Amino acid sequence: MENQQDKKSQIIRSGLELINEHGFHGCPISQVAKKAGVAAGTIYTYFESKEEMIQGIFQDVIQKQHREVTSKDDPNLPFKERFFSFWDNLLEFYSENPDIQGFLEQFLKSPYNSEELQAKHPEWFQWTQNFYLDGIKEGAIKDLNPIILKILVNESAQSLAKVKKNFAQKLERNQVDLSSYPYLIWDAIKAN
C-alpha cells in the first residue's frame, strides 16, 4: 500500500530531523513516533529495533544521495568538468537536505558505521570508484588508488558541508569565502 510507504517515509523523516537536531541521544522512539504522527508501537512494524531503524535511515539516505548525484553526471564530458559538477551536486544535495547532511556527519563517525555496513551499499561505492578510474584513464588526475581519491574528495565535501552548516556565524564574522575550496581539491588530485 502507498499508505504504508508513506508511514515508513514519515518515520524516516522524523528520525532524520531529530538526529540532525539533537544527535542520537535526542531521538527517543517516543519522539520519533510523535513527530511522524504514529504510535510508538507502529515503528516496530517497519523496523525490528531502534538500531535497525537507524541503519534503515542510513540505507535510505545513501540511496537518495546515489540517485541524486549519479543522475546528474554526464560521462561524456571531460573529467575536469565532471569533477566540478560532481562536487557542486553533492554540496547542493547537502544544502537542500540539511537533515541528511547532519545525519551522515554523525552516523559515519559513529560506532553504528562499520566496514560490514558500508559493504551493504555497493552501488555508491562502486560508482565513485569507477568515477575516479575514468579520470585516471583520461589522464586528468593522478594515477592513485581510487580509494584514496574517494577518501580525499568525499570527506572534504563532507567537511565543507559541515562547516557551511554549523559554523555559519564564524564564517560570516571572518568573511570567509568558501568558493575556492573545490579548486583546492582539484589541485590536489589533478595530474601534474
Residues in contact with a second copy by the rule CB under 8 A:
21-26, 105-106, 109-113, 115, 142, 144-145, 147-148, 151-152, 155-156, 159-160, 162-163, 166-167, 169-171, 174-178, 180-181, 184-185, 187-189, 192
Q: Which of 9, 39, 78, 151 binds DNA (CB under 7 A)?
A: 39
Cβ proximity to a second copy, 24 vs 84, nearer residue:
24
Q: Confirm or reject binding of residue 126 to DNA (CB under 7 A).
A: no
The yes or no reply on residue 124 touching DNA (CB under 7 A) is: no
- The number of C-alpha atoms within 13 Å of 95 and in the hemisphere containing its C-beta is 12
Closest CA to 95 of 15, 178, 38, 39: 178
Spatial separation of the C-alpha atoms in residues 152 and 103, rounded to whole Å: 20
CB-based burial, 56-95: b 16+ in 10 Å, e otherwise: bbbebbbeebbebbbeeeeeeeebeebbeebbebbbebbe
CB of 155 to a second copy, least distance (A): 4
Window 56 to 115, contacts with DNA (CB under 7 A): none
